[in-house]
Amino acid sequence: MLTGEYAVLDGALALALPTKKGQKMTVKAHRGTDLVWQSYDHEGKVWFESEISIYDFSAVKTTDQAVSDNLKKYLKNAVRLNCEFLDKWNAYKIETFLEFPRDWGLGSSSTLIHLIAEWAEIMPLELYLKCENGSGYDVACAGAKGPIEFINSPEEVSYTPIDFKPSFADQLFFVHLGQKQSSDDGIQAYLKAVKDKKNLVKTITDITENVQEVKDLSSFKKLMEEHESVIAKHTGFTPIKAERFSNFDGTIKSLGAWGGDFVLATGDKDYVQQYFTGKGLTTIIPYKEMVL
């Protein structure tokens, strides 16, 4: 999420960027009475296996109970949204294939929800909102072909494709911080801290609309810095640049829950790589290599 983190939960307009790397799934008929589930990481190694009861979706066998609990939640709610899904009691073998490292935080759960929704022939956002407490922007991204505007308000939950192709993309980089931030923890911290939601939503919505019109890096940086400042003001959270990279000669913007996964950094390629590599952060991805 480029703009709108946290505030999107209260109805602010957000700008979200789908990534080129996602997750794929295959479903094949299988002999037996259970669902057989295997999940592979980006290197082709199995990271999760389970046999799942077709009757109540509980794990008969599993290598990770927490993952099995989430699968049960997704499958049960998929059936609630489409009573014909899996109603023949047929057994299947399901395989999922991540295209990015699991610790990147690019949406292994949200892409899985989208894949299950497609299998069940239901709306991905409907399934997500039955299962989780977030905004749903990441599930919208899982099915998008390019950047989107996303809104989750009392009146609507929807997204719209937009034409966002910054001419200065060669000076934008995604830097992996090497630490996973729990989305639920981030949401709870925001809900406890936020002050004056109405003003926050209006300001962030304005930034989201304005950033789509910028023609140069300088204007983009000003909007990103304003966004960081606004979120900090309304929550008391410390911007990531002030906290960890105060001597960086450029703009650093948090993406999603503050303090985890990726940040966006601006600057010349050589400088950005030299700076963050010197901090021990070696996963630095150019904008055009990351974003659809």
Q: In this predicted model, what pLDDT tens digit does every residue of 121-142 receive, in sequence order?
A: 999 999 999 999 889 999 999 9
What is the C-alpha to C-alpha distance for residues 209 and 161, in angstroms, rounded to an integer?
13
pLDDT at 275: 98
Residue 253 has a pLDDT of: 97
Categorize the per-residue pLDDT at 181 as very low, low, confident or very high, splitting at 50, 70 and 90.
low
* Residue 162, pLDDT score: 97
pLDDT at 182: 63
Share above pLDDT 90 across residues of the chain, in percent, rounded to a whole number: 82
Tens of pLDDT, residue by residue over 30-42, are 988 899 999 999 9
More confident position, 33 or 29: 29
CB-based contacts of 70, cutoff 8 Å, min separation 6: 109
Q: Is 57 exposed, middle or buried (0-12, 13-18, 19+ CB in 10 A)?
A: buried
The 3-state secondary structure of 170-205, one letter per residue: HHEEEEECCCCCCHHHHHHHHHHHCCCHHHHHHHHH
Q: What is the pLDDT of residue 186?
A: 72
Amino acid identity of residue 92, one-letter, is Y
pLDDT at 261: 85
Assessment of whether the complete model's pTM goes beyond 0.85: yes
In whole angstroms, what is the distance from residue 291 CA to residue 19 CA? 4
The answer to whether residue 242 scores a pLDDT higher than 80 is yes
Domain with CATH 3.30.70.890 in the chain: 165-290
- Other CB atoms within 10 A of residue 108 CB: 20
CATH 3.30.70.890 fits domain 165-290: yes
Average pLDDT for 271-287: 97
